[in-house]
């Protein structure tokens, strides 16, 4: 039986500093990441929301140890739901996932800014640190709160996590290896080529337009044999390692998305009065119906992941410089150069969904396509 597992976190390294080659993270930090991932994915396994739900997840972390901060990091990477609304000029963002850290430290800010924890996320998401709010209008679907003491909360979806629970859950040689099948398959959407890249922007959420690309993905890309997510070629370039890990963080959310879609379908079936209505609902493809909400949720997740991986949005001067580059090819090369910078990577798409539609609308179709491909990927990976 083929072993589809890898240890991909080992290949992540710190950003270059002053031209000096990236250094590896310590084994303790890497082990904390595996512990946090295993525990958080298990704990959040059954958390799901409908697209019109007004609920949100609230995770309370009792402590500020390196392990608990790694848990905060993992929650930020995994807890993304379809009901997040980034708001607009007239409405505030709603249904963010709230992470509360209970600590007495005054320098918790500096600790969270470290690369191994939340990195750039802290600078752009809504934060309330001992009562001081910042970035209240942030378009990011994660909210961070730091308090000195925690009182009981009667919210519907409130999870309290203690360090001993995380430490006791971890099993070495089991949880420090990740099944990368879904990630490897998800990465292949970029190999489909013109069937997806030539889809015009017009009506980006019309799922019918992706049918040929989906067929190519299902019958050609998915049939290729499994390969290592981070092979020898990718290990040397930090950008490639981050892109590979991005597929893992993305596919970690697939189960949640599938559960949310199934839940909404069951809810509608339950509320049907007649058998004929139920028949109609069973014929409806709920992935098509909620494609826009799924794409927005996926973009929100991607933004958080990139900020944690060390990327940041363009600052004012960089934005002006980018806007003055005229010509699609030149602009593409310039943006690629910004992304590939090992010391301070910058990504043009780190913005709200509404802004993405203005700035880089052609890339939105990959989010839509990935969401449509989830059922096939899950089906494939459930086969032995």
Cα separation values, 224 from 105, 191, 227, Å? 51, 12, 9
Cα separation values, 300 from 117, 121, 142, 235, 292, Å? 18, 12, 9, 27, 12
Tell the smallest beta-carbon distance from residue 361 to other proteins (Å).
5
Tell the smallest beta-carbon distance from residue 88 to other proteins (Å).
8
Choose between 271 and 315: whose C-beta lies nearer to other proteins: 315
Tell the smallest beta-carbon distance from residue 199 to other proteins (Å).
13
- Where do we find the tokens 């050609």? 220
Which H helix or E strand runs over 179?
strand 178-179
Choose between 156 and 277: whose C-beta lies nearer to other proteins: 277
Tell the smallest beta-carbon distance from residue 354 to other proteins (Å).
7
Choose between 89 and 154: whose C-beta lies nearer to other proteins: 89
Choose between 134 and 331: whose C-beta lies nearer to other proteins: 331
Taking the alpha carbons of 243, 84, 100, 78 in that order, is the dihedral positive or negative?
negative
H-type helices in the chain, by residue range? 27-43, 66-78, 108-112, 121-124, 163-169, 181-187, 194-197, 211-216, 232-235, 238-252, 254-270, 275-283, 286-289, 291-308, 316-323, 328-339, 353-359, 364-382
**Phi, psi (degrees; rounded to nearest 5) at 73:** -60, -45
Choose between 188 and 289: whose C-beta lies nearer to other proteins: 289
Choose between 201 and 226: whose C-beta lies nearer to other proteins: 201
Q: Helix (H, G, I), strand (E, B), or coil: what is residue 207?
A: helix
Choose between 113 and 325: whose C-beta lies nearer to other proteins: 325
Rounded to whole angstroms, how far apart are CA atoms 2 and 7?
A: 16
Tell the smallest beta-carbon distance from residue 202 to other proteins (Å).
5
Tell the smallest beta-carbon distance from residue 363 to other proteins (Å).
10
According to DSSP, residue 155 is labeled -
Rounded to whole angstroms, how far apart are CA atoms 184 and 25?
A: 24
Beta bridge partners of 13: 24
Question: Is the CB of residue 28 less than 8 Å from the CB of residue 66?
Answer: yes
- Where do we find the tokens 């929650």? 75
Choose between 52 and 357: whose C-beta lies nearer to other proteins: 357
**Phi, psi (degrees; rounded to nearest 5) at 371:** -65, -40
- For other proteins, the binding residues (CB under 8 A) are 89, 201-204, 206, 316-317, 319-320, 323, 354-355, 357-362
Contacts of 259 by beta carbon, 8 Å cutoff, 6+ apart: 46, 48
Tell the smallest beta-carbon distance from residue 316 to other proteins (Å).
5
According to DSSP, residue 221 is labeled I
Tell the smallest beta-carbon distance from residue 74 to other proteins (Å).
33
Choose between 266 and 323: whose C-beta lies nearer to other proteins: 323
């Amino acid at each position: 039986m083929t072993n589809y597992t890898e240890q991909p976190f080992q290949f992540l390294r710190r950003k270059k500093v002053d031209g000096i080659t990236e250094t590896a993270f310590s084994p303790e930090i890497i082990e904390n990441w595996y512990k946090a991932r295993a525990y958080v994915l298990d704990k959040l396994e059954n958390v799901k929301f409908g697209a019109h739900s007004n609920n949100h997840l609230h995770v309370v972390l009792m402590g500020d140890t390196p392990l608990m901060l790694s848990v905060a990091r993992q929650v930020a990477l995994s807890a993304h739901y379809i009901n997040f609304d980034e708001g607009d000029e007239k409405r505030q963002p709603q249904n963010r996932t709230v992470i509360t850290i209970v600590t007495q430290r005054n320098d918790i800010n500096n600790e969270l800014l470290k690369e191994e924890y939340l990195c750039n996320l802290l600078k752009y998401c809504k934060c309330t640190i001992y009562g001081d709010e910042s970035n209240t209008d942030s378009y990011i679907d994660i909210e961070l709160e730091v308090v000195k003491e925690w009182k009981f909360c009667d919210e519907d979806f409130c999870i309290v996590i203690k360090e001993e629970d995380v430490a006791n859950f971890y099993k070495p040689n089991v949880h420090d290896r990740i099944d990368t099948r879904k990630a490897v398959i998800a990465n292949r959407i970029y190999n489909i080529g013109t069937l997806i890249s030539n889809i015009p922007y017009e009506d980006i959420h019309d799922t019918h337009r992706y049918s040929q690309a989906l067929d190519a993905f299902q019958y050609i890309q998915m049939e290729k044999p499994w390969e290592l997510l981070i092979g020898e070629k990718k290990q040397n370039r930090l950008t490639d390692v981050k892109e590979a890990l991005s597929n893992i963080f993305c596919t970690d959310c697939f189960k949640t998305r599938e559960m949310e879609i199934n839940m909404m379908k069951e809810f509608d079936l339950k509320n049907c009065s007649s058998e004929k209505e139920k028949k109609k609902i069973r014929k409806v493809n709920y992935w098509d119906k909620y494609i826009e909400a799924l794409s927005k949720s996926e973009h929100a997740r991607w933004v958080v992941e990139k900020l944690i991986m060390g990327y940041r949005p363009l600052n004012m001067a960089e934005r002006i410089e980018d806007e003055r580059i005229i010509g699609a090819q030149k602009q593409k090369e310039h943006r690629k150069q910004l992304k590939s910078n090992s010391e301070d990577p910058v990504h043009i798409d780190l913005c709200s969904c509404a802004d993405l539609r203005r700035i880089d609308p052609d890339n939105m179709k990959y989010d839509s396509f990935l969401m449509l491909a989830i059922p096939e990927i899950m089906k494939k990976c459930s086969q032995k």
